[in-house]
């Protein structure tokens, strides 16, 4: 027994260390992202934000954490107790489990000894596993909504279920383009394929895929333009209405973990991962190079996180039919179009940067939808149109 | 003569949705630009309240005080005008004849033996201040009145006088009503000579 342990120890400790890093940093990050989000929200709204606890309010996150741990655990009488308890755990577990195949620093596609910035290096279906696992988090939400035995919670859960199913499709479609270009589902290899000059990054020749991916990934995180499952104005609190204290925090943490996952995926798949102009070569073992690349990756990820937070304060929430038509009439056709173009470019060996022209499809699509919108909205009052949509002239006849 | 169809209702046309606007993506970009501009402009309008106190306008109606005259006596002559005027019935005065033997009080007939104001019942309308003929009761700019019990917010005469002592010299709450030429309590006041009685007022004085 001990001998076996000794034998596998060289390959065991890097995995344990990586798990340790993820298990410590994800809750910490979730805690501090609430703080950063509040600060950013304050900046956007010309306020100051939390500034009382500690210097610049930096300990606010800690205070929030302590407060929420010490809260009374209230379990409503009408809930299905077992499901009620496993729902938040499922939610967070799915969110954290998706991080297993996520390189959070530079990882060489070749297997190497020592500490690696990934829990399971060299998984050939890494990306697929990540998508599969992270869509499990819909389970947590649906279970939570159902167990709450509350109409509004169930509405929120059903909404989010429909939203997840709809947005999985464009998400997958946009990823297939990237996967086809790199010829691998292994995230390390997808990043390695974007090495060299910075115009090899996927964003510069698949901008359409980035747009589709980012939009649908944002919808998967259930965050503000897409947070119909918990919209306060209609559904009280949505699926987490009946949750409080630490169970609520688990849902919350899952959401923030999703944001981190999405940001990492966007950076890795489209923004060249740990590559940067001047830092383009394959991953070497030197500590300095590794550290520099890790910093580059983290910087890219934090910029994307900041962008997601900024989006929250610039865009209003979708109506549910708008949400569905965006996925089915907008993103899925665009995703299919992108896939077709990638296939044509790869099969006929056309220089791949011609693909950047696919961005024009976005403009074309936007123009078509604009034409439609204009024809429905820009009808003069004299035609008898009321805000309710009743046609006065017709009803008078 | 033909009946001319009068246009009596003016419809306000909704602004037309422009081509660019209907495409959404430029609108999203401009929305993000607005948010970013506010992030980097750094003009916060938040007031750091406990550290930085707000500027209270001089006609603010806050906690009451009972003014003193030049010799330090309570200015109030116990005429019950404020108690009568008060719409919330929060003032309660018990009057007593001024001690005639005391040379200190020889120019006064009455004085308030007790003078209590229930600060929680008060609606801060300022009508007591308007009613007072001798400028005895005034509202100050104190806005953050708090207490642990209801009882401690029923202010008696001593408390109201102490508010006068605390606020009279801060500059924030100057004695602001100056028409007190009616009662004997203010005959000797300097303000009497500066401010003659307004027409229709004080003719019976």
A301-315 confidence digits (pLDDT tens): 999 998 998 888 888
**Strand positions, DSSP E, A241-374:** none
Structure tokens at B106: 């020889």
Q: Between residues B201 and A274, which one has the greater pLDDT?
A: A274
Parallel, antiparallel or unpaired: strands B110-118 and B91-97: antiparallel
Has residue B205 got a pLDDT over 80?
Answer: no
Residue A10 reports pLDDT greater than 80: no
Q: Does A382 touch chain B (CB under 8 A)?
A: yes
DSSP codes, A232-260: HHHHTTGGGTT--HHHHHHHHHHHHHHHH
Report the CATH number of the B64-187 domain. Answer: 3.30.70.3270
The beta strands (E) that lie in chain B are given as 64-66, 91-97, 110-118, 137-139, 154-155
Interface test mutation site (partner B, options A315, A361, A371, max chain B beta carbons within 10 A): A315
Short-list A374, A379, A377, A342, CA closest to A358: A342
Report pLDDT digits (tens) over A88-147. 888 888 888 888 888 887 777 666 666 777 777 777 888 888 888 878 888 888 888 888
Q: Dig out the tokens for B32 from the structure.
A: 């993000």
Q: Is the dihedral of CA A327, A328, A332, A333 positive or negative?
A: negative
What number is the ipTM of this complex? 0.72
* Structure confidence by residue, pLDDT tens digits, B98-131: 887 887 787 788 889 999 999 999 999 989 988 8
Domain spans of chain A? 2-353
pLDDT tens, B19-75? 777 677 788 888 889 888 888 887 888 888 888 888 888 788 889 999 888 788 888
Q: What is the pTM of this model?
A: 0.75
The whole-angstrom distance between residue A232's C-alpha and the CA centroid of its chain comes to: 21
| A381/B11 touch (CB, cutoff 8 Å), yes or no | yes
**Closest approach of chain B CAs to the CA of A293, in angstroms?**
28
Interface test with chain B among A44, A225, A386, by most B beta carbons within 10 Å: A44
Of A317-321, A361-365, B126-130, which range is least confident? A361-365
| Confidence grade of residue B93 (pLDDT, cut at 50, 70, 90) | very high
> A378, B17: Cβ pair inside 8 Å?
yes
What does the alpha-carbon distance between residue B191 and residue A88 come to, in Å, rounded to a whole number? 74
Query: In Å, how far is B18's CA from the nearest CA of chain A?
Result: 8
CB–CB contacts below 8 A, A to B = 63
How far is B113 from A72, CA to CA, in rounded Å? 53
Q: Write out pLDDT tens, residues A52-75.
A: 888 888 888 888 888 888 888 888
CA dihedral of residues A13, A16, A22, A25 (deg, nearest 10): -70
Angstroms from B54 CA to nearest CA on chain A:
17
Mapped onto helix, strand or coil, the DSSP state of residue B15 is: coil
Give pLDDT tens digits for A172-225: 888 888 888 888 888 888 888 887 777 778 888 888 888 889 989 888 888 878
């Amino acid at each position: 027994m001990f001998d076996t342990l000794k034998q596998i120890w060289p390959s065991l400790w890097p995995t344990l260390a990586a798990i340790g890093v993820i298990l410590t940093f994800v809750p910490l990050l979730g805690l501090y992202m609430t703080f950063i989000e509040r600060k950013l929200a304050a900046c956007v709204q010309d306020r100051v934000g939390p500034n009382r606890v500690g210097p610049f309010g930096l300990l606010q996150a800690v205070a929030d954490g302590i407060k929420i741990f010490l809260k009374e655990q209230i379990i409503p009488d009408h809930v299905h107790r077992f499901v009620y308890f496993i729902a938040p755990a499922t939610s967070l577990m799915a969110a954290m489990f998706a991080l297993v195949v996520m390189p959070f620093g530079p990882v060489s596609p070749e297997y190497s000894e020592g500490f690696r910035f990934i829990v399971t290096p060299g998984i050939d279906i890494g990306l697929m596993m990540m998508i599969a696992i992270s869509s499990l988090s819909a389970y947590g939400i649906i279970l939570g909504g159902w167990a709450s035995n509350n109409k509004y919670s169930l509405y929120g859960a059903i909404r989010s279920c429909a939203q997840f199913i709809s947005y999985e499709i464009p998400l997958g479609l946009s990823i297939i383009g990237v996967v086809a270009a790199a010829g691998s589902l292994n995230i390390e290899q997808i990043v390695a394929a974007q090495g060299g000059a910075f115009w090899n990054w996927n964003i510069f020749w698949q901008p359409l895929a980035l747009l589709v991916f980012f939009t649908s990934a944002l919808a998967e995180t259930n965050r503000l333009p897409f947070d119909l499952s918990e919209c306060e104005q209609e559904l009280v609190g949505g699926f987490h209405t009946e949750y409080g204290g630490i169970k609520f925090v688990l849902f919350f943490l899952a959401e923030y973990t999703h944001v981190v996952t999405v940001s990492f995926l966007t950076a890795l798949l489209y923004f060249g991962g740990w590559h940067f102009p001047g830092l383009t070569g394959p991953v070497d073992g030197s500590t300095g190079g590794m550290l520099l690349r890790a910093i580059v990756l983290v910087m890219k990820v934090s910029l994307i996180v900041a962008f997601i937070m900024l989006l929250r304060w610039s865009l209003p929430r979708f109506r549910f039919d708008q949400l569905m038509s965006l996925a089915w009439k907008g993103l899925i056709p665009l995703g299919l179009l992108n896939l077709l173009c990638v296939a044509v470019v790869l099969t006929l060996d056309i220089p791949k940067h011609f693909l950047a022209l696919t961005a024009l499809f976005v403009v074309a699509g936007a123009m078509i939808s604009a034409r439609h919108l204009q024809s429905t909205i820009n009808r003069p009052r004299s035609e008898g149109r009321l805000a309710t949509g009743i046609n006065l002239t017709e009803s008078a006849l | 003569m033909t009946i001319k169809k009068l246009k009596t209702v003016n419809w306000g046309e909704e602004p037309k949705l422009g081509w660019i606007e209907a495409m959404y993506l430029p609108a999203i970009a401009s929305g993000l630009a607005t948010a970013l501009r506010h992030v980097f402009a750094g003009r916060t309008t938040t007031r750091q309240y406990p550290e930085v106190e707000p500027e209270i306008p001089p006609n603010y109606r806050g906690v009451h005080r009972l003014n003193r005259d030049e010799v330090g006596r309570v200015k109030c002559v116990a005429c019950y005008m404020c108690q009568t005027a008060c719409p919330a019935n929060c003032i309660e005065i018990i009057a007593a004849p001024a001690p005639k033997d005391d040379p200190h009080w020889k120019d006064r007939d009455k004085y308030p033996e007790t003078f209590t104001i229930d600060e929680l019942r008060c609606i801060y309308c300022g009508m007591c201040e308007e009613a007072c003929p001798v400028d005895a009761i005034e509202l100050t700019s104190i806005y953050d009145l708090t207490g642990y019990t209801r009882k401690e917010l029923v202010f008696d005469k001593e408390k109201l006088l102490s508010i006068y002592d605390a606020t009279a010299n801060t500059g924030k709450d100057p004695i602001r009503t100056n028409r007190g030429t009616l009662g004997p309590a203010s005959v000797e006041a300097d303000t009497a000579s500066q401010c003659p009685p307004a027409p229709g007022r004080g003719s019976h004085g």
